[in-house]
Amino acid sequence: MPLFGKGDEAGDLFKKAKRRSDPSSQEFDLDLAIHYLQQAVDLKPYNEQYRRSLDETRELKSQCGDKFSMEVEDVFGIRGRGAVVTGRIQQGVIRTGDQVVIRGHKGMRRAVVHSVEMFRRSLHQGVTGQDVGLLMRDLERDDVERGDVVEGV
Residue 6 confidence (pLDDT):
54
Q: What is the pLDDT of residue 24?
A: 64
- Closest C-alpha to 123, from 101, 152, 94: 94
Residue 7, pLDDT score: 55
pTM over the 0.85 mark: no
Q: What is the pLDDT of residue 100?
A: 92
pLDDT at res. 65:
66
DSSP string over the chain? --SSS---HHHHHHHHHHHHT-TTSTT--HHHHHHHHHHHHHHSTT-HHHHHHHHHHHHHHHHHTSPPEEE--EEEEETTTEEEEEEEEEESEEETT-EEEEEETTEEEEEE--EEEETTEEESEEETT-EEEEEETT--GGG--TT-EEEE-
- Write out the chain's pLDDT in tens, 153 residues: 444 445 588 889 888 888 887 766 667 777 788 888 899 999 898 999 999 988 888 887 776 667 889 999 999 988 888 899 999 998 888 888 999 999 988 888 899 999 999 887 888 888 888 899 999 988 888 889 999 999 988
Q: Which domains does the chain have, with CATH numbers?
A: 9-63 (no CATH), 69-152 (2.40.30.10)
